[in-house]
Amino acid sequence: MANPPLEDIRSKIEKAARIADRKPSDIALIAVSKTRSIDEIRPLLEAGHRVFGENRVQEAMEKWPVLKAEYPDIQLHMIGQLQSNKAGEAVALFDYIHSLDRLSLVKALAKEMGRQDRQIPCFLQVNIGEESQKGGCDIKAVPEMLAQARTAGITVAGLMAVPPDNVNPVPYFALLAKLARDNGLDELSMGMSGDFDKAIKLGATHIRVGTALFGPRDTPAA
């Protein structure tokens, strides 16, 4: 079934990819479904979309086991801050984690991946704007975090960041791309509803889009 917002985003992805001389198929669209009900999510599944993102383990546990049973090829991304005591549930439910940002979480996730015999590729989240209220490791801690994650047996796919609000995100996207290059990482999780086209031009491989697909959220969600 056709879904106009989804088609609109897809065509914007294609356009941005064309300008950047990239393949649209190299850019994963993560539909960010935090705060959305199962009924709001279903139209996207019926339109054939399978890649989704959530920012809270508890909320995801209430929605996705049901939907994953119905659509086994769903790919679920954890994009929010993750507490170490939720590592077990996160490893069981999610297929990617974008918010690996500290050593205690490296240890908790590695332990659960071992225990559950389930390897979940992770992105290192970087506090790219050096904002005290945001998650993510320090820019200069990236090489050490990467080494520690690998030593613990975690596959690090790339880097993730959320630039500061209300400023031009382009320099932050460029900095994240450079950090990834300098550390030999291929994947870049960056770009949201308002700026994913710019992120694609700077190399995003995973864009995280909520409101542009689902409409405004009525409850604020970090």
Which residues of the shown chain bind ligand PLP in the complex (CB under 6 A)? 32, 34, 55, 79-80, 162, 192-193, 208-212, 221
- Shorter beta-carbon distance to ligand PLP: residue 32 or 188: 32
- Shorter beta-carbon distance to ligand PLP: residue 156 or 192: 192
DSSP β-ladder status, 96-100 and 28-32:
unpaired
CB of residue 218 to ligand PLP, shortest distance in Å: 12
- Shorter beta-carbon distance to ligand PLP: residue 61 or 152: 61
The answer to whether 9 and 212 are in contact (CB under 8 A) is: yes
> CB atoms < 10 A from the CB of 60, how many?
23
* 3-state secondary structure (DSSP) of residue 68: helix
- Shorter beta-carbon distance to ligand PLP: residue 99 or 201: 99
CB of residue 217 to ligand PLP, shortest distance in Å: 7
- Alpha helix ranges (H) inside the chain: 4-19, 38-46, 57-70, 87-93, 103-116, 142-151, 170-182, 196-201, 211-214
Minimal CB distance residue for ligand PLP: 210
